[in-house]
A and B are shown apart, each in its own frame.
Chain A
Amino acid sequence: MKRLLPVWAALLIAAAPVAALWDPGTAMAAGAGVAFQETPSLAGRVAEGKLPPVTDRVPQVPSVVFMNAKDKTPGRHGGDMRLIMGKGRDVRLMTIYGYARLVAYTSDLKLIADILERFEVKDGREFTLTLRPGHKWSDGHPFTAEDFRYYWEDMATNKKLSPLGPRKKLLVGEELPEFKVIDERTVRYTWSRPNSFFLAGMAGAAPLFIYRPAHYMKRFHARYSDTAELKKMAEKERLMDWSVLHLSKDRMYTLDNPEMPTLQPWMNTTKPPSQRFVFVRNPFFHRVDVAGRQLPYIDRVILNISLRDLIPAKAGAGESDLQSRYIAFEDYTFLKESEKRYDQSVHLWRTVKGSHIAIYPNLNTKDKVWRKILRDVRFRRALSLAIDRNEINQVAYFGLARGGNNSIIEESPLFRPEYRTLWAGFDLARANRLLDEMGLDKKDGDGIRLLPDGRSAIITIDTSGEKTEITDTLELIHDTWLKAGIKMLPRPAQRDIFRNRVFSGDSKMAVWSGLSNGIPTADMTPDEFVPTRQYQLQWPKWGKFMESNGQAGEPPDLLEAKQLLDLMPAWNNASGLSEQEEIWHRILKIHAEQVFSIGIINRTLQPVVVNNRLRNVPAEGFHNWNPGAYFGVYRPDTFWFAGKGKDRG
């Protein structure tokens, strides 16, 4: 049964307040009608009456994906896509790859309405979200404002389920939003001051979920369900009470509760633990292509769990149709050889982190003498100057990456060359001069500088010891720092011990990933550059202070850190894009001059193995956690299998 898309609906889509840019084309041309095509794998169930036909399954105003650019062609239904993962918890990657969000990023990082039909923002503090009419959960139940209300009133503000209140991104300072249900498809959140985390949070790789399948979750909530029943259910699962039961069933992100309805393109059908998880298409998914086919194209996604170290070998043996996780640049040559034998291609995508790995001097370290030295900007500058980034680039990346500070990269519109290059050259003479100037000019018998209290300048760098590229890079850096009179001792540890050491101040210096978002735009939050979280390894105690609203940690007491701290609310309250941009530049400048973290190499390359029959996967792209959701912004629901061939599971 066919049905034409109402013209008014098409116009509505075209008139969305944000340019509805689907990558890479534009949304539906207004006025054209669309005839829906039934999905072959579901046709059987539709005929038996177990599923409504496609016209009733998609929302009345579906999200239409228009594909007419070089990388994207309309495809056909069918096929199983195999992925290889390293542990059972990686099932959550289907939420990330699936990337169905209320608002989502396109691959050029513009925010558009995805699950939402549209959204309106007033003064940056009032958000009105409108759902698509006829949008249903994966079990067929309608998706309405009730699902938002349930989350807000019965979960986020429920004392038992959220004893410390709602998520941080839902608060502006201390202030909770005012939540209102306007009608059965529209909700509104209002704060008295702008909340710039809200939209970006919803579009994140690990998103802010402000809704739940209320019809499902109510069964586990004391307010809606019989307490005796709940107690029995909880006991059956060896859980203490209904709140923990509720928690254990609430798996929006991790997708490891197959009974929970979802809005993602594929839904889990395998209960953990398992070595193999089978995801099948969500029959009520809200996106369609131009030809009226309901997305996703691919019928099933199969996740095979394997040992991490074996995954490059497996990918090289053609056991994955789409693989980027757990393979690294060093596997590229081996993987390339597999192209002939297994009909797959190995692409190289760019990474966009500020620095692949960065060194974080701990400004909150307990050791008084070192703390003073690390806080002296000359020391940090000297350390940065004493790194031969070119050598590291050659050794580890064949010279294909780029050396520089832990700062934003060229693709960001905010980029300026000095942010990358300031204090990032290789200049041992200057480094030595700076250290001499600081008064560390006396040296011991091995040529290592002496600290004011007579100790040799031997600094232990804590690492979480997992990747060989870290060990290798540190070896190279060790040698050049030695020439500047500083001896560095790497100290690997388990992650939680590593973390605790840094947080407590026992650690003086740590190695970790650089900026996770190296391509921000002015309207993205600069919170990575400002003390906001404990997990910022250069100032964990200041971060903790901000995170806990002053309850724990230490208040920032360095001038430049305080400046950064003031710039944050300034950005939040900025009245427009140009003001936001200006604040960004001030922040970036402070960082470039202060070298709060020492960047090494950025723009490294990530191999991506793709089955040759899998279409619509770009040969060039960027591979990033957030924003990017790894494959998410390239919409895996639009990937499809061409040609004939055995689809192995």
Chain B
Amino acid sequence: MTTPNSPDATLQHFVSTEPFDPKVASKIAPELERYFLASQWKLMWWKLKWHRLAVFSGLFLLVLYGTTLISEFLAPYDTHTRDIGHIYAPPQSVHLFDDGEFIGPFVYGMDYKLNMVNLKREYTDNPNKIQRLRFFCQGDEYYFWGIITSRLHLVCPAEDGTLFLLGTDRLGRDVLSRIIYGSRISLTIGLVGITLSFFIGMIVGGIAGYFGGLIDTIIQRIIEIIQSFPQIPLWMALSAIMPLTWSPLVIYLAITIILAMLEWTSLARAVRSKLFSLREEEFCTAAKLMGAKPSRIIGRHLLPGFMSYLIAAATLSIPAMILGETALSFLGIGLRAPITSWGVLLNEAQNINIVVLYPWLMLPVVPVILTILAFSLFGDGLRDAADPYK
């Protein structure tokens, strides 16, 4: 309650003189009513909206994941399309004006010369070759969601033209398209992995926290052991033993499992500590007295209490997963070609030649950074919103 603190205001002491009937419910403002009646999730949502940066990040992530649904449509080329006439081509810039005249978005065609002294491919823009971009056009064929084939792309190069907005790699493949296709794998691996972690963490942590005693000690020890393991070497060891005979999909799943194997521990711990503090609460005792089974108590009463916190914690773990996949693929022991992921792209760029001569191939690091930033900010916001004490 704020008191007016202008110097000459006398302190108002207000007591209502109206008759008082304790049985009459007092009216409160509709907003307050909404506030008190709101569910936990609604509360969280309102708090989250305040945190502008988090909301922005959340939207960004939504859009990002949305694009993975229509990657084929967005990418100008297929991830495997090669143009051997344009190997290691630098990024092309889109122009709108040619000689002061507005002709819509276009790129200049490239002339190619091989420098025979140092065997360098030299590309120069040819101002006479104007290649207009086409939109909603027919490009490389793709098999959309395994259901229909289509050739519709958002943007394509001009007929017989090129559109390498981020340059090409050593086989003449468009870097931008590969990044778009790669986002599918890199983004979803994080989600799948974290879901796995989440469930394992919840179950294990729930059991430990609820039952306590010997079970708890054992589980704690196990968690400690796993956490003592140096992460990267463990991943290395596990990946080194993974037979490379498996199909790409199986390898993908195996990698998510490997990544999840180390992440669930922090979640389990969080669950456990929360359960410890909550299980002595009276609503829990009441449920027990009414004959509820432990699983029901844990699942229906305890967990929802801090689910929001868990979700926030999970969101904050996703970056570790994405980085983990990137690291593994980068080391060559995670995903490999022909699967396209950001980690695989970065692995191909791990080369002094690339750093010095073809630096555009290192651009996949940008989406990695942005995604992780977004997850971190969004997770931060979630956590702040979920914290009932703020």
Contact = CB atoms under 8 A, between A and B. Distances in A.
Contacts of B243: 493, 497
Contact of B356 (A334, A476, A491): A334
B357 interface: yes
Interface string A377-397: 000000000000001001100
B1 interface: no
A333 B118 contact: yes
A224 interface: no
Contacts of B119: 332-333, 336, 398, 400
B118 A336 contact: yes
Contact of A313 (B117, B352, B357): B352
Nearest to B355: A313
Interface stretch (A243-251, A283-291, A465-473, A576-584): A465-473
A380 to B, nearest CB: 25
A331 B351 CA distance: 9
A316 interface: yes
B215 interface: no
A287 to B, nearest CB: 37
Interface residues of A, number: 28
A398 B114 contact: yes
Given A334-B357, A391-B84, A492 B244 contact: yes
Interface string B365-376: 000000000000
Interface string A328-343: 0011111011000000
Nearest to B171: A472
A395 B83 CA distance: 10
B350 interface: yes
Interface string A491-504: 11110010000000
Contacts of B120: 333, 336
> Interface residue tally of chain B, by bracket?
20 to 34
Interface in A312-332: 312-313, 316, 330-332
Given A333-B118, A336-B117, A395-B84, A471 B352 contact: no
A154 to B, nearest CB: 42
Given A333-B120, A492-B244, A394 B353 contact: no
B170 A309 contact: no
A229 interface: no
Contacts of A333: 118-120, 353, 357
Interface in A296-321: 309-310, 312-313, 316
B163 to A, nearest CB: 21
A493 B244 contact: yes
Contacts of A334: 352-353, 356-357
B216 interface: no
A400 B245 CA distance: 35
Given A312-B353, A334-B353, A337-B356, A395 B171 contact: yes
A475 interface: yes
B359 to A, nearest CB: 12
B234 interface: no
Nearest to B245: A491
B343 to A, nearest CB: 16
Interface of A: 309-310, 312-313, 316, 330-334, 336-337, 391, 394-395, 398, 400, 465, 468, 471-472, 475-476, 491-494, 497
18 contacts: A312-B353, A330-B353, A332-B118, A334-B353, A334-B357, A337-B118, A391-B84, A398-B119, A465-B244, A468-B170, A471-B337, A472-B170, A475-B80, A475-B171, A476-B171, A493-B243, A493-B244, A497-B244
